[in-house]
Amino acid sequence: MKFLITGGNGMLAYALKNKLQALHNAEIYACDKDVCDITDESSVKKIFDEFKPDVVLNCAAYTAVDKAEEEIDIALNINAHGVQNLAKAALENKVLLIHYSTDYVFDGSKESYNEDDLRDPINAYGLSKAKGEEEIENILGENKGKYYIIRTAWLYGPGGPNFVETMLRLSKEKDSISVVNDQHGSPTFTIDLAEATIKLLEDTGGKYPFGIYHLTNNDDCTWYEYTCKIFEYSSILTPVHPIDSSEFPRPAKRPKYSILKNNKGPLLRSWQEAVKDYLENYR
């Protein structure tokens, strides 16, 4: 089976490559923008024609959340128009498209969100990702094609910068750290997300019918609680102080609640277990 991974140099792509390599007869082509620019329809067509994938995993995305407030056109071009190009090519070539989306398609006013809750983006980045989801549903939905939209949140893992590494670095640079304590979510380990993605693939259309899935590590916390656990597992004594998000203003609004309820997909282990595993075995 041939797997095409767009955004192939990113953190999630790194985990997917790592896990897909263990599959029997898996041929993996992970490419970045220089090989496949998803915003360019001809570039997408070329890679489909040449590689002839069976499955496309779209990890390409504009993810600069604050910058998107000023660059909404760029974010929409990548996260919506680019996804539209992939969905069209997937339909034409009868290929399964797996697309990764975000908790930011919701405004965070509810304590948790189900897969079928209405999208209500909280910021420009969330809007661009919501538009991408809509493009997939419009093109591949109602049994016209094959797709999984996987919403996830608070990603970290090997192969890229992430919150865990940032906190570890700050613990060495500062005498104490202040971290937001009124935003709730589920830290998600890319390795676990990749494993759950493969479980979807292994039972395509059976136990896991095509559609939207919420895949995050189990349980939730605030950024402050997350940091405390990172330091606990790392035996770091740098003091951590909880603050309100109003004390740390940023250009883009963040959801108060980013908890994605997994009502139908493979279950992931607790975020605490995953963070411990990452710190002990993947650094």
Could you report how far apart the first and last alpha carbons of the chain are, in Å?
A: 30
What sign for the dihedral angle of Cα 212, 39, 49, 2? negative
Q: Is the separation of the CB atoms in 245 and 183 below 8 Å?
A: yes
Q: What kind and span of H or E run contains 31?
A: strand 27-31
CA distance 53 to 107: 35
Residue tagged active-site, from 113, 125, 257, 278: 125
The DSSP call for residue 59 is: -
Is 125 one of the annotated active-site residues of the chain?
Answer: yes
Q: Is the separation of the CB atoms in 227 and 261 below 8 Å?
A: no
Q: Is the separation of the CB atoms in 190 and 183 below 8 Å?
A: no
Residue 278: both structure tokens together? 């990452």
CA distance 104 to 101: 8
b/e sequence 112-129, b meaning 16+ C-beta within 10 Å: ebebeeebbbbbbbbbbb
Q: Which residues are catalytic?
A: 125
